[in-house]
Amino acid sequence: MYLTFDDGPAAGVTDKILDILHQFSAKATFFCVGEMVEKNPELLHRIKEEGHALGNHTYKHESGWKTENAAYFRSYLACHDLVDSKLFRPPYGRISKSQAKLIKKRSEINNFIKKAKPYGLASITRSGPLAMSKGSETIKDNKGKIL
């Protein structure tokens, strides 16, 4: 199973996620938004220090379907400068073919919305945790809290 977390790093959320991951010796990929990285640079540093993978999630979390190509690519590049990762996940899973063509020259596009299977994917977004499940099994910590 791959653990991924989008839309951060967010104070009060990402730090708690990192604590839980550390408790279980688990690794994850954090798809970061550039604006959030600038607000929480210490969390980006902690993600790196603890050996987690990083991914680009644009600078301003724009939908590719609603954003002009040049502006979307500038947002991708601005986040790339902060995160320096070959992984990219489009916000909302929305990216045009022309945007994808530009970004594929520099990054591997990970669009979990199109690739998600009913097993083995967990993701948490800025709006809060989604229950992580494997089939009908919800994953909980050792205190019975849903992770």
* pTM of the predicted model as reported, rounded to 2 decimal places: 0.77
pLDDT (0 to 100) of residue 111: 75
Helices 69-83 and 97-104 meet at what angle, rounded to 10?
30
Q: Which residue has the higher pLDDT, 10 or 138?
A: 10
Mean pLDDT of 28-47: 98
Q: Where are the domains of the chain?
A: 2-138
pLDDT (0 to 100) of residue 112: 56
| pLDDT tens by residue, 107-134 | 999 875 444 444 344 444 444 443 333 3
CATH of domain 2-138: 3.20.20.370
Query: Among 40-44, 64-68, 104-108, 124-128, whose mean pLDDT is lowest?
Result: 124-128
Residues 55 and 83 sit within 8 Å (Cβ to Cβ): yes
Query: What is the average pLDDT value for the chain, to the nearest integer?
Result: 83
Q: Which long-range contacts (CB under 8 A, 24 or more apart) does 13-18 make?
A: 13/124, 13/126, 13/128, 14/40, 14/43, 14/47, 15/43, 15/46, 17/124, 18/43, 18/46, 18/47, 18/50, 18/52
